[in-house]
Structure 1
Amino acid sequence: MEIHVGIDFGTSFTKAYMYNLDLDEPALIDLRSESQSGSPYLPSLLWIDSNDMISIEQPASGCPRKIEYFKMALANQLIGSDIYPTCNIKNKPYFLYCAFYLAKIMSIIEIFIKRKYSAYLRKENIDISGSVGIPVAHFDSPIKDVYEKIIAASSFMKNLIGDREPISRIDEFYSESLTHSKDERFTAIPELYAEAAGIISDRHTPTGVYTIFDIGGGTVDGASFYLEKRNGNSYVNFLTAKVEPLGLEIVANRIVQAGIEKTMPDARTLLYKSETISNQSIDSLKNSLHQLTAKVIVPVKKKNPDAFHLADSIPISICGGGRLSQWHKAVILDTYTNFKHKNCNIPPYKLFDLNPYYGNIPAPLLHRYTIAIGLSIPPGYGPEIIGFPSQNPEFHQTNKDANLDYDEIQREIYGD
C-alpha cells in the first residue's frame, strides 16, 4: 500500500495531510497525542531543559526553556533571542531543533497511518513517502540545500528517537545522516506550488497569471506564476517569489510593543477585526507588506509582457493560518491603490477562494490545510513546474529608455 504525506512545516503550526494511492483516499492526519485536545495540527514549538533534554511537550521539571520560530533560523531570519544548549555540539543548534521536531512529526504520522490501516498490515506493507513544504523563494536559492539536509536528517532519525532526547544525541544522529545517502522518499516541495496545485486542479481554470500569498505566523510568502496548458497537461512557471517576516505573530507582537493592546490574544483579535491600525510602528510593517506585494506582482510585467496585457484582472489567493487577518488582507489588496498600479497598466487585483469542499476538510480549517493538501499530491501526479524566478529574466526597454524603465519599476515597487 502506497501513501503520500504532505507536511506543512510552518513557523507557528505544522499540519499534515495524506493521500492513499491504492484506495484513492485522502485524509487529514491528526497530530495530537491522546492527552491533547483542540485542533489536529501542532504548534511548531520545542522545549529544552537544564540538562539539555529536548522535547515537543513541556516537561514537568528541569526549568525548561521554550524554543519558538526555530524554522526561521534556516533562512537566517531568527525571531527573538537565541536559545542554545549548554553542552558542546558539532552542528548548528537550530538545525538540530528543526531536525528533531520534523523527525517527531514524521514518527507521529507513521503511527497514525499504521493505526488507521492496521487491518491491512496483516497482509501487506505500507510504503510511506512525503513532501515537506518550503517557501518558493528559498527553494529557488542556496537555502534549499539546508532544508534538504534537515529533511534527510529527520527521515534518518525518526525511528531512533523518543519523546525526549539529549541534544548531544540529536547532534550525533544529524552528523551521521550527512554520511548516508539521501532518503528519496521524503523531498522538499515549494509551498506555494502545493497551493497552486489546488487552484489549477480544476480543468476549467484558464491559462494566465495567478498570485498567491501565504500568511503564516512568522512570515508572509508570496509568489506569482503563469499557468500554461498544452495537450491536456498543466504547467506552472514561477515568475516571482518573496518571503519576509511579516506574519501574524510578528505584527501582533509589534502591536503589543507599541502599547496598542496589552496581550498577544488581544493583538491577534485586533488583526482579525481591523483593516486599519493607526500607529507609526505598525505603518512601517504596512509599508513593508506593500513592498512585498509589489515585488511579487510588478516584475511579472517584465518577465511575461503579454500576461497583464491580455488579463482584465489579477486573481489573488490568500491562504495560511493568518488568512483571517483583515489587516493583512486589506494591506495586500490596498497596494494596488497605494502604489498607483492602475497608472502603470497593471490590472486590478481580484480576490478568489478555493472550493470550500476541497480536501474534504471542515471549512473553518481549510485555509490552514491548503498547502498540506497540495503537498499530499504525489510527485508526477500534479502539474509540472517548468520555471522558477531565477530562470525567468526581465525584458527591459532599449538602452535609450533604460533610466525611464528603471524609474518606473522603482516607483511601482516602492511607491512614489
Structure 2
Amino acid sequence: MNISKSQKLYSQALQFMPGGVNSPVRAFKNVGKTPLFIEKAKGSRIYDADGNEYIDYVCSWGPNILGHAYPEVIEAVKKSCDKGLTFGACHKGEVELAQIIQKNIPSMEMLRLVNSGTEAVMSAVRAARGFTGRDKIVKFEGCYHGHSDGLLVKAGSGLLTNSIPDSAGVPEGFTENTLLAKYNNIDSVAELFEKYGSDIACVIVEPCAANMGVIPPKKGFLKFLRDITCQYNSLLIFDEVITGFRLSLGGAQKYYGIIPDMTALGKIVGGGMPLAAYGGKKEIMECVAPSGSVYQAGTLSGNPIAVSAGLATLKILQNNPDIYNELERKSYLIESAATDSGLNVNRVGSLLTVFFNNAEIQNYDNAKQSDTKKYAEFFGYLLENGIYTAPSQFEAMFVSAAHTDKDIAYTCDIIHNFK
C-alpha cells in the first residue's frame, strides 16, 4: 500500500506539532506505523492523501453514528454557515437542541451546552462540588474523562496506550481530592465511602467503559453506585460522552435502567462538530452562573454551526429508531466473526473491542495485561486489507448506520482469516 503522501505530511507535521499530531490517540506509534492523513470521507469510507480507501470503524472516535458526510447534516450546516459562523449570543437553535436532548434524556432537567467532552465533565464535577459543598470525587481506574487536571489519574485511553500512568504538569494538589476505585468492583467503592463518605461530592463513571477498551458494567454494579451515592448524599455522574445517543436514544442510562444525578454528553450530540453538554437535576444546575455561584462560561458555547449539526443528527436518530436495531445486528455479526476465530471480544451495542488477552476483561488491571504487539499485528492486517480501526488496543470499534451489509460481510471475512 502506497502511503508516501501521508509519510511526507507526517514528516512536516513533526516540525510543528508534538508527535506530529493534534491528539495523542491519532498517533500510530504503538502500532509501529505512520499515521494516515485523511483527505475526505463519505458514508462508511475514508480516503487518505494517497487515495487509499478504507472501511472506517473509528468514525471520528464515535460522533459519526450516521456515517460520514450524511446529506441532511451537511445541508443543515451549510444553511447555518450562510447565517454566520458565531454570534456569541443566544439563538433559537440552542433552545431546540436543549429540548430534544431533554426529551430523550429526561434526567437532564436543565443543561448547558459547551464545546468538548473534557469541558462537559470538568463543569459537571465543578457543579457537583458546588452543590454538595464537598471536595472529594471518586473515579475509576481506566475510565477517561477528558484531560482536566483533577481527572488525569489512571485515566485510560491515550494515557494507557502510550504507557503514561499520569500526566506531567499536574500538581499533586490537583489530584489529592480524586479517589480511585476499581471498575466493576463494589468493595473498592464501599471502602472509599466508609472512609471518606461525608466528604465525597460525587462518583463519576463511564456507565459502559470504552477508554480501556469496551468493558460493560457487571450486573448490579451501576445500581450499587446509585444506591451508595444516595445513601451518602453524594451525586452520581454518568460520563456519556461516548455512550450518549450511541447505546440508545436515551444513552446508557436508558439502556441499563439506572438514572444518574448528572450527565455529560459529547461526540454524537454535536453531529460531528465540536459540541458537548452537561446537565442534571434542576436544583443542581441552578447552582451554575448566572443563576448560582458555580462559574462556567465559553465564547463558542452553543455555536450555531455545531448546534445545527447536532440538531439534525438527533432528529434523524429520533425519527428512525430502527437504526439502533440495525446497529445491534451489524455489530453482532462482527463480534461473532471475531469469537468464531478464537478472539476475545467485549461488545455493547455498536461498541466493541477485540482484546488480545485470554482473561475475562472486567477492569483496568485485566485490560492492561493485553498483548499490544499482537494487537498491532491485527491492526496492520486490517489496514492492509482496507479496514481502518483504532491504532490502540484500548479503544473501541464504532459501527455506524452507513456500514452496509457488504461492508460487514467483508470485514467478517477478513477477521476470519487473521492468524
TM-score (norm 1): 0.24
* More relative contact order, 1 or 2 (CA 8 Å, 6+ apart): 2
